[in-house]
Amino acid sequence: MTEPYVVPAHPSVLPGYLDLATRTRIVGWAQPEQGGEPAALQILDNGKPLARIIANQVRPDVARAGFGESRCGFDLLIPAPLPAHERHVIQVRRESDGSELNGSPVVIEAAKALDEDLQRLVRQVAQGAQTHTEREDILAFLADVADKLLVAHARTESGQEQRERYNRLARRFGPAFPQKARTLRALIIDENLPMSGRDAGSQAILSHARSLKELGYDVSFVAARDMDPDRSACGLLEQLGLTVWRAPHYACVEDILRRQSGTFDVVYLHRIGVATRYLALARHYQPAATVLYSVADLHHRRMNGQAALEKRPELLALSRSVRLQECTAAWQADGVVTHSPEEEEWLTKAVPQARIACVPWAIPVRSLINNFEERRDIAFIGNYSHAPNLDAARWFVETILPDLRVHYPALTFWLVGADLPPHLCWPEGVRVMGHVEDLDKEVLDRVRLTVAPLRFGAGIKGKVLESFAAGVPCVMTQTAAEGLKLPRALASLATKDDKRLKNCILKLYADPKRCQDISKKLQSYVAKTFSEKSTTEALHAALKMATRKRKIAD
């Protein structure tokens, strides 16, 4: 069979234009031959004949533009689309003399991504499946391609591909090849992405992430409950130099641990729910990593207090179950991080084999305030989806606030924080603030005191520390003061019963000058105990201790 004849190229240019050239369609127009006959054209792909076409379709736009006869167009639909993985040079020549059309040639580069033509082709193939077997074949093929792409993506993101390339070069060139220090990697897993100002857990996580970066780690996050988190929340973390793993590249936490297998040096599991679900998976997919279980607070102690206060035996049974989970996680992890010295002591006794470290989180101290005389109100700050906070708010309003307003009728009690149940009715003298964007400007710059009247709970209370850092005295119960180890000058802020709580509030409220004196001491205490430096040093020590345990176990 002879090859189709190719019209030799001619240096002259054929009047007209090649408007469009894709893998599926070629469109343009060419002026007729002398005598008015439509031009016969040959279309070439990479120098080989693709089609022969007559330029005799109506193109009124050409006539309106003053280029003569309107029957001069051509529009070729290619039955079998040109292969997407190849480069194509499309040429259009007049068959009679080889003159090339204006705009020719057009180069269509090989597809390196899903361009429009390739998407259309894949869609057509998928939609054309008629039988169950055909659909299964297509699904298996697409799943295989997707999996290979996701694996390649994970290898690049984890640095595994670059490390393997470096190792190959190092083996090839030997000692002469420049040595390169490997970047340490840390993965933090929590239920949700941390958000500055939302809760104490978020503040602690963000502080520890900054400390890990200070220690030389490349730090990344994954939110177990939300693999497609809000882009603005991701953007805020990325601005801090942190990476957020999310859909569509990863469908779940296990995806990250599996696809980036063996590439993390530290896996930091925040809260017992996360530790229970992912500690074994972290061990399996990241066998060389140091696994830290960050307690946040011992949930079973909070539940136990709530069960005793509310006389709920079913909650007491649940607290025992959670206690077993927390002790088991502490025993299995290489290291345990807690913020409260009381919890460190309890865990040390309950799980002697565990390596426990008390690591604070950094809290910035604000500039000193001097206007306590102008302030009139007091506030309680917390998230009211947290049972201890809601109980504290209701108890304070019912038990303490009426006596305070007898002495100071103009005093208003602010309830600050999200998720306060809307059906609750509050008496006169209570102002429901809800969630505030700027806690400092909207609350802490305007109240004389804050209170933390918690009757049950566990761990260090973040909003107490934020009040201290702003220089605002916080009068609290012993439960709210857990883990703080207040110096003697501030110890009176932690009260033992409701009578002493009320008297302490009245005494401080009546003495703005004393509030000012305490303000300085509060900020000095926070600056010393909850600084960036002390947090980083404590986390470094915790990692060293946990790594030693892992090496001994290995």
**388 beta partners:** none
Residue closest to 108 by CA, chosen among 85, 81, 77, 87: 87
- CA 466, CA 349: separation in Å to the nearest integer? 31
Residue closest to 460 by CA, chosen among 480, 488, 478: 480
pLDDT tens by residue, 131-175: 899 889 989 988 888 888 888 888 888 888 777 777 777 777 777
- CA triple 216-219-221, angle to 5 deg: 165
- CA 501, CA 450: separation in Å to the nearest integer? 12
Residue closest to 530 by CA, chosen among 458, 483, 470, 465: 465
Tokens representing 209 are 């992430």
Q: What is the pLDDT of residue 68?
A: 78
- CA 186, CA 294: separation in Å to the nearest integer? 14
**3-state percent helix, strand, coil for the chain, nearest multiple of 5:** 45, 20, 35
- CA 49, CA 55: separation in Å to the nearest integer? 17
pLDDT tens by residue, 463-482: 899 999 999 999 999 999 99
Strands 40-45 and 88-94: antiparallel
- Asked if pLDDT for residue 201 goes beyond 90, the answer is no
**What average pLDDT does the segment 358-363 reach?**
94
pLDDT tens by residue, 17-46: 999 999 889 999 999 988 889 999 999 999
**What average pLDDT does the segment 427-435 reach?**
93
- CA 197, CA 236: separation in Å to the nearest integer? 13
Give the 3-state secondary structure of 412-477: CEEEECCCCCCCCCCCCCEEEEECCCCHHHHHHCCEEEEEECCCCCCCCCHHHHHHHHCCCCEEEE
The number of beta carbons lying within 10 Å of the beta carbon of residue 389 is 24
User: With a threshold of 0.85, does the pTM exceed it?
Assistant: no
**26 beta partners:** 21, 76
Strands 106-108 and 40-45: unpaired
- CA 270, CA 204: separation in Å to the nearest integer? 10
- Cβ neighbours for 173, distance < 8 A, ≥ 6 positions apart: none
- CA 106, CA 85: separation in Å to the nearest integer? 17
Q: What is the pLDDT of residue 122?
A: 81
Q: How far is CA 189 from CA 28, 204, 276, 278, 294, in A?
A: 57, 13, 12, 9, 10
- Among 56-70, 83-97, 155-169, 510-524, the minimum mean pLDDT is found in 155-169
SS3 106: strand
SS3 252: coil
Q: What is the pLDDT of residue 230?
A: 86
pLDDT tier at 2, thresholds 50, 70, 90: low
**Residue 47 identity (one-letter amino acid):** G
Q: Mean pLDDT across the chain, nearest whole number?
A: 90
Q: What is the pLDDT of residue 553?
A: 64
Task: Write the burial class of residue 313 (CB in 10 Å: 0-12 exposed, 13-18 middle, 19+ buried).
Answer: exposed
- Asked if pLDDT for residue 359 goes beyond 70, the answer is yes
